[in-house]
Amino acid sequence: MSSNSEMMRAVIMDGPGGPEVLKIAQRPIPTPADNQYLVKTAFAGVNRPDVVQRMGLYPPPPGTTDIFGLEISGRIVAAGKNVNADLIGQNICALVAGGGYGEYVAVTDGHFLIVPPRLSMEKAAAMPETLLTVWHNIFERGYARDGERLLVHGGTSGIGTMAIKLAKLFDLNIIVTCGSDAKCAAALAIGADHAINYKSQDFVAEIAKITDGQGVNLILDMVAGSYVPRNLQCLAPDGRHVTIAIQGGAMAEINMAYVMMRRLTLTGSTLRARSDEFKGLLFDEIAANVWPIVVEGDLEPEMDQIFPLEEAAKAHAHMESGDHVGKIILSL
């Protein structure tokens, strides 16, 4: 909640529905809590959870603003009483539980990274959600190790393209699935070792061919549903299956005897509802293991298109069309 009488533009929705329900509204500029900074937003990332929220299927956690947006870049303009006021004026990129599609947003201490000179502010806005999601689920929940084989569905999405880039930096062999030959070519150009057109090829059979029947060690799955039993057929013994979205449905029927015989691990996670403490620890991990690579200019997000804030509905429609390769961003 805000007690600030000054107003800002922000994107909200009239009610659940298609992209057309998004609208610009006037909202009070947030007043940062004691453990928060106030940030003037420069750019905001558009993510699949935003689309699902707009459809009415992914409500914000209790107490969270109804303003859309989970990641931003911007400049710190004010500080709560328990945080470092010396950071006022600093450019950051941040993860927020909501409010990113607003001209100002309150950011919790420890939930941001300083934007290095080599990284543009628009690219910085494309980093937090995908970077934290990929790092946590591939390396922390999926226990990825050098030399292993990784399968990622949705290889040209924001998550998929970041997974490709991180996998190559950490010596993984990465296979992706995509919905067209053009997208497969784009994924290969970004760095994937193999790309499978799931609309014209059976990815289970293709994985068997690519791996000489050995399978992959880890799968990052955004589909769930009917993909899960097929995914399990792609896993090597002791393989790990990590679900981060359920675009193909929440229910899956699997053969647990197969899981037992091959010693498979099934897990998954969501990021938005996790505690502030958990998110802070995850940012610490990124700061120690990945951000130095960003500072050196050796890791950047794959960018698709930037829309002005007033065209948030067009940005959502573009994401739903499936035509994008990499991240979609809003400019404020």
User: Structural domain of residue 158, as residue ranges?
Assistant: 142-268
Give per-10-residue mean pLDDT for the chain (332 aa): 74 96 97 97 97 92 92 98 97 97 98 97 97 96 97 96 97 97 98 97 98 98 96 98 95 96 96 92 97 97 98 97 96 97
Q: What is the 3-state secondary structure (H, E, C) of the chain?
A: CCCCCCEEEEEEECCCCCHHHEEEEEEECCCCCCCEEEEEEEEEEECHHHHHHHCCCCCCCCCCCCCCCCEEEEEEEEECCCCCHHHCCCEEEEECCCCCCECEEEEECCCEEECCCCCCHHHHHCCHHHHHHHHHHHHHCCCCCCCCEEEEECCCCHHHHHHHHHHHHCCCEEEEEECCHHHHHHHHHHCCCEEEECCCCCHHHHHHHHCCCCCEEEEEECCCCCHHHHHHHHEEEEEEEEECCCCCCCCCCCCHHHHHHHCCEEEECCCCCCCHHHHHHHHHHHHHHCHHHHHCCCCCCCEEEEEEHHHHHHHHHHHHHCCCCCEEEEEC
- Answer yes or no: do 201 and 247 share one domain: yes
Q: What does the pLDDT look like over 179-218, one tens digit per residue?
A: 999 999 999 999 999 999 999 999 999 999 999 999 999 9
Note the pLDDT tens digit of each residue in 154-166: 999 999 999 999 9
Structural domain ending residue among the three candidates 247, 268, 289: 268
Among 268, 292, 310, where does a domain finish? 268
On whether both 182 and 202 belong to a single domain, the answer is yes
pTM of the model: 0.93
What's the CATH code of the domain at 56? Answer: 3.90.180.10
Chosen domain end from 230, 253, 268: 268
Within-domain flag for 133: no
If one counts the domains in the chain, the total is: 2
- The verdict on residue 135 lying in a domain is no
